């Protein structure tokens, strides 16, 4: 293999080569590589282009802080955008490409943007495109600028096609969940296991060890090298039956009730995976620390890398990231780095001392030289004393910041610690959640182990360290950007979003002094890397620009997920047929066989109409309507909500719930009723049947059943606990078929020959128990079509048999669309069509349903409010379009003129609109201001630019005397 791989060393398996492609180029790495380390080993120095300026960008890190190497993985339907190359284990056949760069990341035409820097400064979207107009171009933003910008920018490519992978969700409950299997996390997990706890340990890397993986010079732990100790501890934990230990598993959310959300990648590649929902009594966040880049001119050139990444490249991956290195640290923890550079035979051409700084870098697409200048007494570099050294690697570190994301997103606070040189956790968050190790600003190995182990009374002693241990900290050179603005050179704060020190300065001058404002104005920290390297630099630059302390500036807030998670993983199994629960009636297969087209009503699938082969919806609905009006139809009404109400106070309870009296209902009879909320607005409607002195059967709308039961339980349990009444849902105990039409009695007689169907023996609005089609049935004589009608109810499991018998007796199946046409012809309301939470029964013309004779009922007091009796309320009316062929749009606005001039007064809206085969015209129900006084008036229904003349009329279009109920 060519490239930069060292001849030996590293935690890679050189006997297992892995082929992959980058931008179509075939490359090879080894088992144990990340995509990032494999790219580095193959001398790929440009891994992408920046967001705004399309500057070439290389690997800054080899860890979770990476802002540049964020890649598209896979192609076609398999494509996954925004994956971190540094976090992605190399897998055979993997195809990765940069998120940006056209035609390629090495030669990007968008790079010309970098030659035109001024308009791309902070706030350029607002200044350039929202305000000024281009002469002759209407809507320039939407038509011109946004499409242009989107083609140049973009945050990854969406997959083409349906994701072929299956993602799993799993739940686990433990005593202690530990995030991170570094030294602190391992110590915490072992300590918890030692006290008998059930433990879950999650590590995002493919190996345990954390800092021990890429670092040398730490002390020995329990007489073992740090990495050997970590691997031993991991093995002990994984072998413990009380432990669940997972690698390649990232905690991305921490929610109320100590619930961790964790994403586990499968072992064989970057696709699919599993989300773990973890509940724990105690959570230990041992997520480590993030190394911070220094802010100096030219700090984004490929070849500038974090010191920890240089060390990890050499020690962990056996890669030589350059030949001549400049070392630029703001702290004294460089011994391990220097040893690593020496071991890899990389010449340290210069080390930037505490009295010096980097003032620039050179190189096209790859670092070639570095300018170093001494700092003068004013703290500014003395450019006259500047020297230029050749280098293809610049190892830089601005110290470390604890990884606080999980702590912060669950409500934790942070505060600047001058002693640690970083923001540290400062309380807040949930009880039972603690930080440990570097995440808790315990940067040395010994301190991290002790912190992870904790002070468990009576527990086993923690791991013992021996030997020296240099603790990195943020102390040293100031974090403030180094004179970039004075030098008029670009020093980058956010590598992904191209935010420079100058942008922060501009934002500060324009008044964006608060960190959250400056962030949004400049977009610093708003990239897919979530600003892990940008956050502190932004605060430092803003502090410098406004003359404040960094601790007073603070950091911007964070939200979950703390790292990108595929939408497919979040969705899990809840896609396609499993997206939402589906409720089917026992006749569902029969509907399918009859060619039913279904509609969703709540979770139910209801047959909307039955299309004969080649039959469109309109003729099918007209045919079904004619069947009911002239012969007999059958409708599956099993979905109706049904509630059993029982108890000595059942009648009193229903009397308080409905607007009309239910206590006077005779056993054997039924009655239509509406329920209001206590604001006087219609909430639901249905039929109440009295089964016995203390027993009622209540029906609700199909979609409202659960809400009605919850609501009734609310009143029963919280307002009237003294009433002796009980409620139970019986929706899925009863399957039902409505038989309606002039031949309905004949059809029912064929099914139930022993039942007397005469109007005297079985009048409208009564119910009878009978045997129908050999089944025990409860039959309600009710009508929602205006025709003579029966609703035959049988036990749920017999629904299909009942349906078959009704059809065999001659009834024509009809769906919910025909049901709607038929009920609207009769002016019957449907909750949700004619009501929207602002409609009273008086508005609907249902005053006759409101009992004046009984005591209180829900909504009664509100109905007496002056506003609900004042003129100008919208009332239910019928509308006849003057052009009989017109079917108005539902939702069309009712206005008084055909040529509206805004602000045109709105008089109302169309609530339901259909074609009526019985009337041979389009017709509609509408809610119109003072509508009952407008019968005969000519108004206009306006929708989508078209106004149709309509005549206002009574809402009952068909059989106003109700004679057909007895036909």
In whole angstroms, the minimum distance from the beta carbon of 259 to other proteins comes to: 5
Which residue stretch of 194-202, 624-632, 719-727, 787-795 sits at the interface with other proteins (rule: CB under 8 A)?
A: 719-727
Q: Around Cβ 513, how many Cβ atoms within 10 Å?
A: 15
* CA-wise closest residue to 907 among 923, 926, 924, 882: 926
Q: What is the nearest approach in angstroms of other proteins to the Cβ of residue 729?
A: 9
Considering only 103, 131, 150, 256, the residue that binds other proteins (CB under 8 A) is 256
Reading the block at residue 292, the tokens are 């911070």
Neighbours of 613 (CB within 10 A): 5
Does 714 engage in binding with other proteins (CB under 8 A)? Answer: yes
**Closer residue to other proteins in complex, CB, 261/821:** 261
Tell me, residue by residue from 136 to 175, as one string, x for binding to other proteins by CB under 8 A and - for no binding. Answer: ----------------------------------------
- Nearer to other proteins by Cβ, of 228 and 862: the residue is 862
In the window 260-279, what residues touch other proteins (CB under 8 A)? 279
Q: Is residue 430 involved in binding other proteins (CB under 8 A)?
A: yes
User: Are 762 and 756 spatial neighbours (Cβ–Cβ below 8 Å)?
Assistant: yes
Smallest separation (angstroms) from other proteins to the CB of 288: 26
Piece of the chain touching other proteins by CB under 8 A; list 151-159, 230-238, 253-261, 316-324 = 253-261
Residue 793 Cβ vs other proteins, minimum distance, rounded to whole Å? 23
The residues with which 492 forms a beta bridge, in sequence order, are 500
Least distance (Å) from other proteins to the CB of residue 433?
12
- Asked if 434 touches other proteins (CB under 8 A), the answer is no
Among 249-257, 285-293, 523-531, 795-803, the segment contacting other proteins (CB under 8 A): 249-257
Instruction: Name the CA radius of gyration of the chain, rounded.
Output: 37
> Smallest distance, Å, CB 861 to other proteins?
4
The residue among 24 and 866 lying less far from other proteins, judged by its C-beta, is: 866
The pairing of beta strand 946-953 with beta strand 670-676: unpaired
Q: Beta-carbon neighbour count of residue 246 at 10 Å?
A: 18
Among positions 675-694, residues that touch other proteins (CB under 8 A) are: 678-679
Site membership for other proteins, residue 721 (CB under 8 A):
yes
Spatial distance between the Cα atoms of 303 and 295, rounded to a whole number of angstroms: 15
Hey, which residues does 71 pair with through a beta bridge? 83, 98
- Nearer residue to other proteins within complex by CB, 221 or 433: 433
Q: How far is the CB of 470 from other proteins (least distance, A)?
A: 39
Residue nearer to other proteins on the CB measure, 411 or 511: 411
CA angle in degrees (0–180, nearest 5) for 735-741-746: 85
**Rounded CA gap, 658 and 953, in Å?**
29
How many residues at the interface with other proteins, by CB under 8 A? 26
Phi then psi for residue 934, to 5 deg, are -105, 5
Nearer to other proteins, 350 or 698 (CB): 698
Which of 7, 196, 866, 902 contacts other proteins by CB under 8 A?
Answer: 866
Question: Which region holds residue 765: left if phi is over 0, alpha if psi is between -120 and 50, else beta?
Answer: left
Shortest approach of other proteins to residue 652 CB, angstroms? 16
Q: What one-character-per-residue DSSP string does 280-341 give?
A: EEEEEE---EEE-----TTTTSTTEEEHHHHHHHHHTT-B---SEEEEEESSS--HHHHHHH
Q: Which stretch binds other proteins (CB under 8 A): 207-215, 337-345, 468-476, 703-711?
A: 703-711
- Does residue 581 bind other proteins (CB under 8 A)? no
Smallest separation (angstroms) from other proteins to the CB of 173: 10
Work out how close the CB of 710 gets to other proteins at its nearest, in angstroms, rounded to a whole number: 5
Alpha-carbon distance of 687 to 674, in angstroms, equals: 9
Specify the residue, 188 or 863, whose C-beta has the smaller distance to other proteins: 863
Q: Looking at the chain, how many residues does it have?
A: 967
Options 160-168, 693-701, 702-710, 840-848: segment touching other proteins (CB under 8 A)? 702-710
- Interface with other proteins by CB under 8 A: which range of 293-301, 715-723, 766-774, 884-892? 715-723
Q: 16, 9, 18, 59: which is closest to 37 by C-alpha?
A: 59
- Residue 393 tokens, joined: 């690697």
Q: Smaller CB distance to other proteins: residue 239 or 256? A: 256
Q: Which of 524-532, 667-675, 857-865, 914-922 is the region at the interface with other proteins (rule: CB under 8 A)?
A: 857-865
Q: CA 872: distance to chain centroid?
A: 42
Closest CA to 404 of 557, 193, 274: 557
Question: How far apart are CB 862 and other proteins at their closest, in Å?
Answer: 7
Among the listed residues 396, 493, 372, the one whose alpha carbon sits nearest the alpha carbon of residue 50: 493
Q: Which is nearer to other proteins, 285 or 393 (CB)?
A: 285
According to DSSP, the β-strands at 874-881 and 946-953 are: antiparallel
Smallest separation, CB 707 to other proteins (Å): 9
Q: Give the alpha-carbon dihedral of 19, 21, 26, 28, to 10 degrees.
A: -30
DSSP-assigned beta bridge partners for residue 170: 276
Q: Which of these segments, 119-127, 220-228, 716-724, 912-920, binds other proteins (CB under 8 A)?
A: 716-724
Cα–Cα distance measured from residue 612 to residue 631, given in angstroms and rounded to the nearest whole number: 19
Residue pair 283/260 in contact (Cβ under 8 Å)? The answer is yes
Q: Which is nearer to other proteins, 717 or 776 (CB)?
A: 717
Given 138, 856, 899, 936, the residue binding other proteins (CB under 8 A)? 856
Q: Select the residue interacting with other proteins from 107, 126, 255, 567 (CB under 8 A).
A: 255
State the SS3 of 441-502: CCCCHHHHHHHHHCCCCCCCCCCCEECCCCCCCCCCCCCCCCCHHHHCCCCEEECCCCEEHH
Q: Which of 389/426 has CB closer to other proteins?
A: 426
DSSP 68: S
Q: What are phi and psi of 466, to 5 degrees?
A: -135, 140
722 forms part of the interface with other proteins (CB under 8 A): yes
Q: Considering only the stretches 125-133, 820-828, 858-866, 884-892, report the one whose residues sit in contact with other proteins under the rule CB under 8 A.
A: 858-866
* One of 49, 215, 292, 860 touching other proteins (CB under 8 A): 860
Q: Which stretch binds other proteins (CB under 8 A): 82-90, 250-258, 433-441, 933-941?
A: 250-258
Among 713, 769, 804, 882, binds other proteins (CB under 8 A): 713
Alpha-carbon distances of 203 from 85, 194, 252, 288, 455, rounded to whole Å: 17, 20, 12, 11, 23
| β-bridge mates for residue 70, sequence order | 84
Phi and psi at residue 231, to the nearest 5°: -65, -35
Nearer to other proteins, 582 or 667 (CB): 582
For residue 789, the SS3 value is: strand
Q: Return the residue matching tokens 């630019």.
A: 945
Residue 44 CA from chain centroid, whole number: 35
Q: How far is the CB of 705 from other proteins (least distance, A)?
A: 12
Q: Could you say which residues in the range 286-325 bind other proteins, by CB under 8 A? A: none
Residue of 2, 710, 760, 885 that binds other proteins (CB under 8 A): 710
- Site for other proteins contains 380 (CB under 8 A): no
- Neighbour order of strands in the sheet with 789-795: 766-772, 775-781, 789-795, 734-740, 633-636, 812-813
CB of 142 to other proteins, least distance (A): 37
Report the residue number, 866 or 903, with the smaller CB distance to other proteins: 866
The residue among 115, 113, 64, 74 whose CA lies nearest residue 97 is 74
Q: Work out how close the CB of 255 gets to other proteins at its nearest, in angstroms, rounded to a whole number.
A: 5
**Cα gap 282→293, rounded to integer Å:** 33
* Site for other proteins, rule CB under 8 A: 255-257, 259, 279, 411, 430-431, 678-679, 706, 709-710, 713-714, 717-719, 721-722, 856, 860-862, 865-866
């Amino acid at each position: 293999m060519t490239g930069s791989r060292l001849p030996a060393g590293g935690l890679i398996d050189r006997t297992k080569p892995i082929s992959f492609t980058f931008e179509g180029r075939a490359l090879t790495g080894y088992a144990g590589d990340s995509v990032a380390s494999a790219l580095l080993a193959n001398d790929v120095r440009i891994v992408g282009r920046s967001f705004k300026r399309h500057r070439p960008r290389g690997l800054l890190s080899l860890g979770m802080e990476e802002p540049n190497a964020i890649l598209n993985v896979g192609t076609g339907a398999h494509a996954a955008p925004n994956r971190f190359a540094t976090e992605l284990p190399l897998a055979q056949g993997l195809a990765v490409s940069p998120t940006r760069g056209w035609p390629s990341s090495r030669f990007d035409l968008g790079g010309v943007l970098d030659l035109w820097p001024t308009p791309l400064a902070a706030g350029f979207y607002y200044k350039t495109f929202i305000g000024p107009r281009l002469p002759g171009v209407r809507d320039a933003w939407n038509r011109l600028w946004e499409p242009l910008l989107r083609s140049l920018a973009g945050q990854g490519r969406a997959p083409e096609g349906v994701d072929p992978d299956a993602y799993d969700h799993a739940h686990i409950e433990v005593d202690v969940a530990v995030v991170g299997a570094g030294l602190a996390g391992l110590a915490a997990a072992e300590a918890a296991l030692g006290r008998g706890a059930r433990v879950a340990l999650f590590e995002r890397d493919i190996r345990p060890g954390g800092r021990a993986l890429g670092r040398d010079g730490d002390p020995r732990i329990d007489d073992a090298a740090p990495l050997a100790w970590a691997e031993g501890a991991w093995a002990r934990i994984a072998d413990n039956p009380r432990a669940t230990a997972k690698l390649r598993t990232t905690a991305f959310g921490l929610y109320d009730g100590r619930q961790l959300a964790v994403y586990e990648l499968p072992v064989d590649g970057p696709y699919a995976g599993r989300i773990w929902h973890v509940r724990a009594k105690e959570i230990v966040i041992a997520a480590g620390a993030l190394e911070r880049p220094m802010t100096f001119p030219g700090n984004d050139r490929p070849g500038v890398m974090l010191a920890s990444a240089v060390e990890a490249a050499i020690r962990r991956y056996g890669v030589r990231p350059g030949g001549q290195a400049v070392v630029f640290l703001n702290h004294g923890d460089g011994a391990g780095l220097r040893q690593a550079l020496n071991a890899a035979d990389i010449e340290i051409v210069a080390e930037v001392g505490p009295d010096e700084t980097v003032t620039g870098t050179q190189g096209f697409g790859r670092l070639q030289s570095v300018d170093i200048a001494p700092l003068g007494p004013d703290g500014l570099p003395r450019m006259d004393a500047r020297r230029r050294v050749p280098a293809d690697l610049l190892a830089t570190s601005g110290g470390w910041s604890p990884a606080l994301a999980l702590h912060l997103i669950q409500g934790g606070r942070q505060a600047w610690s001058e002693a640690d040189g970083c923001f540290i956790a400062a309380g807040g968050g949930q009880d039972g959640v603690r930080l440990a190790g570097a995440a808790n600003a315990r940067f040395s190995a010994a301190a991290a182990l002790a912190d992870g182990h904790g002070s468990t009374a009576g527990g086993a002693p923690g791991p013992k360290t021996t030997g020296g241990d240099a603790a990195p900290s943020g102390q040293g050179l100031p974090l403030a950007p180094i004179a970039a603005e004075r030098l008029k050179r670009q020093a980058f704060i956010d590598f992904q979003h191209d935010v420079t020190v100058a942008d922060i300065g501009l934002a500060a001058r324009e008044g964006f002094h608060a960190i959250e404002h400056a962030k949004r104005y400049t977009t610093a920290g708003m990239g897919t890397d979530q600003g892990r390297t940008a956050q502190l630099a932004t605060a430092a630059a803003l502090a410098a620009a406004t003359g404040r302390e960094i601790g007073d500036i603070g950091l911007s807030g964070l939200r979950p997920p703390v790292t990108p998670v595929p939408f497919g993983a979040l969705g899990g199994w809840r896609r396609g047929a499993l997206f939402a629960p589906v409720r089917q009636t026992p006749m569902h297969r029969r509907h399918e066989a009859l060619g039913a087209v279904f509609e969703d009503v709540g979770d139910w699938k209801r047959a909307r109409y039955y299309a004969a082969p080649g039959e469109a919806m309109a003729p099918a609905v007209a045919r079904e309507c004619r069947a009911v009006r002239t012969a007999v139809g059958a409708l599956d009404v099993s979905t109706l909500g049904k509630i059993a109400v029982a108890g000595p106070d059942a009648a009193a309870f229903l009397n308080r719930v409905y607007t009309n009296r239910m206590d006077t209902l005779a056993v054997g009879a039924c009655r239509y009723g509406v329920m209001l909320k206590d604001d006087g607005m219609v909430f639901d409607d249905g039929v109440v049947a009295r089964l016995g002195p203390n027993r009622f059967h209540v029906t609700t709308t199909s979609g409202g059943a659960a809400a009605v039961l919850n609501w009734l339980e609310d009143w029963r349990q919280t307002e009237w606990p003294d009433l002796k009444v009980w409620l139970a849902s019986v929706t899925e105990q009863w399957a039902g078929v409505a038989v309606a039409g002039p031949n309905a009695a004949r059809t029912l007689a064929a099914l139930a020959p022993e039942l007397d169907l005469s109007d005297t023996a079985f009048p409208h609005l009564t119910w009878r128990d009978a045997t129908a089609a050999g089944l025990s049935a409860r039959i309600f004589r009710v009508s929602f079509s205006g025709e003579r009608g029966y609703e035959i109810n049988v036990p749920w499991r017999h629904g299909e048999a009942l349906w078959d018998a009704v059809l065999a007796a001659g009834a024509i199946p009809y769906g919910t669309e025909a049901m709607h046409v038929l009920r609207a012809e009769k002016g019957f309301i449907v909750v949700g069509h004619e009501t929207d939470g602002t409609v009273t029964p008086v508005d609907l013309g249902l005053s006759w349903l409101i009992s004046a004779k009984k005591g209180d009922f829900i909504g009664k007091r509100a109905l007496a409010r002056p506003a609900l009796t004042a003129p100008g309320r919208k009332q239910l009316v019928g509308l006849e379009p003057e052009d009989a062929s017109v079917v108005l749009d539902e939702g069309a606005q009712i206005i008084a003129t055909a040529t509206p001039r805004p602000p045109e007064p709105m008089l109302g809206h169309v609530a339901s609109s259909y074609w009526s085969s019985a009337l041979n015209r389009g017709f509609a129900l509408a809610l119109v201001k003072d509508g009952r006084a407008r019968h005969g008036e000519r108004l206009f229904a306006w929708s989508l630019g078209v106004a149709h003349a309509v005549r206002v009329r009574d809402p009952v279009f068909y059989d106003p005397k109700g004679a057909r109920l007895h036909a």
